[in-house]
């Protein structure tokens, strides 16, 4: 219990939480870890106090020697069984040690290839018009999340507005292999998370145009693109999980962001 609590505190108080959970879960993880650690310490102190007050047994008379031997045998049996249980308990620390020393990575191209065709297709409200208008007034290139781009591409009324301007998207490159249906196809991928990576769903935009060959799969990039309604699937097909198409205007490699996932609720 103490190890679990300390591991929860370690994850909750560092950026490693972003590998597993959305940032809003940080307070709950930290509080849970602190409670587990405190309860574990209290239990350990209570057991030590009980052990220090235990009476010391002495060897009885010769007449009672046989009974003492029997009781001693039971005591040794219970002692050995307790040690076996303790050793088994310590084995539970092994996966926790691995989780700290060998930090698991975020979901990448391998996970994306296995989710393709069952991408995020949930209901999500996003009004692309005011969003683009606000950036037009500021004179900046809109920075869109992949979930917002895909949502606009899946709405027949929003596709024309989305195709009228260039936008910036952030994600990782995912190149198809030679065995894929469309060899050398390049995708921009990112995962969206509800509460944790267990419910992560794939967001994907198919890129067309010039993409530097040195950009390998899982290289994070910021791309300036223009939605291509002619090459993209129909809005109804995008809602079913097919990938919209965007023409690449520029590509800028970046380091993996501290928050590798997008989040459904802000």
Q: What is the mean pLDDT of each run of 10 residues along the chain (266 residues)?
A: 86 84 87 92 86 63 50 50 60 74 80 74 71 78 91 90 93 75 79 86 91 89 95 90 92 92 79
pLDDT for the residue 11: 85
pLDDT for the residue 171: 96
Question: What is the C-alpha to C-alpha distance for residues 190 and 262, in angstroms, rounded to an integer?
Answer: 7
pLDDT for the residue 232: 93
Do residues 18 and 195 lie in contact, with contact meaning Cβ atoms separated by under 8 Å? no
Question: What is the C-alpha to C-alpha distance for residues 85 and 83, in angstroms, rounded to an integer?
Answer: 5
At residue 88, φ and ψ (nearest 5 deg) are -65, -40
Write down the H helix ranges in 119-254: 128-138, 146-153, 159-163, 235-239
Question: What is the C-alpha to C-alpha distance for residues 262 and 260, in angstroms, rounded to an integer?
Answer: 7
Beta strand pairing call for 245-253 and 186-193: unpaired
The reported pTM is 0.74
Q: What is the DSSP string of 116-128?
A: TTS---------H
pLDDT for the residue 63: 47
Nearest alpha-carbon partner for 126 in 167, 164, 165, 155: 155
At residue 221, φ and ψ (nearest 5 deg) are -145, 160
């Amino acid at each position: 219990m103490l190890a679990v609590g300390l591991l929860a505190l370690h994850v909750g108080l560092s950026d490693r939480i972003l590998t597993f959970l959305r940032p809003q879960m940080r307070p709950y993880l930290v509080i849970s870890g602190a409670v587990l650690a405190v309860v574990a310490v209290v239990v350990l102190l209570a057991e030590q106090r009980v052990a220090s007050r235990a009476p010391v047994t002495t060897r009885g008379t010769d007449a009672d020697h046989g009974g003492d031997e029997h009781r001693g045998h039971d005591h040794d049996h219970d002692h050995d069984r307790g040690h076996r249980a303790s050793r088994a308990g310590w084995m539970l620390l092994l996966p926790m040690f691995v989780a700290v020393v060998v930090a698991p990575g975020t979901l990448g191209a391998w996970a994306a290839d296995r989710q393709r065709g069952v991408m995020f297709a949930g209901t999500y409200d996003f009004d692309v018009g005011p969003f683009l208008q606000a950036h037009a007034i500021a004179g900046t290139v809109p920075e869109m999340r992949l979930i917002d781009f895909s949502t606009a591409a899946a709405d027949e009324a929003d596709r024309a507005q989305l195709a009228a301007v260039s936008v910036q998207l952030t994600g990782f490159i995912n190149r198809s292999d030679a065995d894929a249906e469309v060899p050398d196809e390049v995708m921009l991928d990112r995962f969206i998370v509800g509460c944790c990576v267990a419910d992560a769903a794939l967001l994907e935009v198919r890129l067309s145009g010039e993409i530097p060959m040195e950009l390998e799969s899982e290289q994070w990039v910021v791309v300036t693109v223009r939605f291509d309604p002619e090459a993209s699937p129909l809005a109804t097909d995008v809602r079913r999980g097919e990938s919209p198409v965007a023409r690449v205007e520029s590509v800028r490699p970046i380091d993996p962001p501290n928050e590798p996932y997008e989040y459904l609720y802000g």
